[in-house]
Amino acid sequence: MKNIKKNDEIKVISGKDNGKVGKVLQVLNDKKIIVEKINMIKRHMKRSQTFQGGIVDKPAAIDISNVALLCPSCKEITRVDKSKVINGERVRSCKKCREIIDKA
């Protein structure tokens, strides 16, 4: 199970984008993630029938150890606790406020 999933709200805790907040667009191989508007790079795109061409800004991958999950209820960075609920399903919860984030 992963601590950070797609559509989670995260905060960068180290690196050039330190302190920025964004939403996870994609999780790559459990080590790297792509976050919207964080770690932007420029790519030179060739002209095609659907694209005019030129220099495009796009988000690059960032290491998962450089980000922390933002709890949706307490709005603080937190670690994830994976515990069981009464009906037997595992859920992710905030270690600070103990609020359930979602199903694991």
* Digit-coded pLDDT (tens) for 53-81: 999 999 999 999 999 999 989 999 999 98
Per-residue pLDDT, 90 = 85
Q: What is the mean pLDDT of residues 26-48?
A: 94
pLDDT digits (tens, 9 = 90+) for 79-95: 998 877 767 788 888 88
Q: According to the model, what pLDDT value does residue 61 have?
A: 96
Domains of the chain in start order, with CATH, are: 1-70 (2.30.30.30), 78-104 (no CATH)
Mean pLDDT across the stretch 21-41? 94
CB 59 within 8 A of CB 72: no
Q: Which residues are registered as beta bridge partners of 103?
A: 91
Return the pLDDT at 41.
96
pLDDT for 1 equals 45
% of the chain beyond a pLDDT of 70: 97
DSSP result, 63-77: EGGGEEEEPTTT-SE
